[in-house]
Structure 1
Amino acid sequence: MFLPGERRGDELRTLLGAGTARAGDSGDGPVDVLLRPDDVTLAADGDTNAAVEWSRYEGGTRLYAARLDDGPLLKVRTNHETHLAPGERVSARITAGHPLAAFPRESA
């Protein structure tokens, strides 16, 4: 999924926190950040910003859909031992251990 953000140097800022930008993608300013399901984590503690809509067991992992308070639907892959119920409030945060792709935001 793509999430709007801002790039300043090699730092990306989004609704889900900060990440590192991949070198050479774009200059500073508004960007769309590409997030894969395993670039984000969900936690049932702290300041919440999303609600779980559904989950699917996939053997070694679970795939969750969580709707952000600001509207977008995230798909997040977690460890199979993570158990979050539909309707449960969660905190969604970027936890990618690698630089993220960011593209200049299209003008409307």
Structure 2
Amino acid sequence: MSDLPLASAITAFNGLRNRNACPAACRASLVRQGATTTTAAAVCLDAHDQITVYAPHGLDDLLDGVWRRNPTRVSPETSRQRLARHRLAERWPGVRVET
């Protein structure tokens, strides 16, 4: 997994781009809505240049290259459809899929 650029592993949420656009509680809420545990993570820089990590499912899956559905957001069927549509094994052969 270490040969994948970090930008390839994280989905940026539009609502998280502007740190002044939405309060911390709103950002955390947006992150929880990620379809996978790896996309339910974000790093934000606040107005005081302090870094905050939002990762309600932890960072293990992201750092270990594991694709797993967000159980609070996505059904198993929707997860299988997303997996097929994104051609994960073809695009990132080193990613381990866990359903």
Assess same fold via TM > 0.5: no
- TM-score of the pair, normalised by structure 2: 0.27
TM-score by length of 1: 0.26
Which of the two has greater strand per residue? 1
